[in-house]
């Protein structure tokens, strides 16, 4: 099946896969489980110093990233 989506300016959140998934779940009357609402699973490697300067930030999550080649060229489609 093909889902053809025509996004109007007033529902910009549908320009993401997450927004489309939420809307389709609602239209089909099924539960949408948002993976971003789940607690991350992994070891705690130690404290990370964070200075939150706004009460609007209710949660901050930091995850370590490894195995990246910082000297690799940026792909053309990103620039």
pTM of the predicted structure, to 2 decimals: 0.43
Over residues 34-47, the pLDDT tens digits come to 877 777 666 667 77
**pLDDT value at 19 more than 80:** yes
Over residues 22-78, the pLDDT tens digits come to 888 998 999 998 877 777 666 667 777 778 888 888 877 777 778 889 999 998 888
**pLDDT value at 17 more than 80:** yes
How far apart are alpha carbons 23 and 15 in whole angstroms? Answer: 11
How far apart are alpha carbons 43 and 63 in whole angstroms? Answer: 10
Tokens of 60: 């901050």
């Amino acid at each position: 099946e093909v889902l053809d989506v025509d996004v109007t300016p007033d529902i910009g959140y549908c320009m993401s896969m997450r927004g489309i998934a939420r809307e389709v779940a609602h239209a089909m009357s099924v539960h949408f489980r948002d993976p971003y609402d789940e607690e991350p699973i992994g070891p705690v490697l130690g404290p990370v110093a964070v200075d939150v300067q706004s009460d609007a930030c209710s949660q901050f999550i930091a995850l370590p990233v490894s195995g990246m080649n910082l000297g690799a060229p940026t792909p053309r489609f990103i620039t």
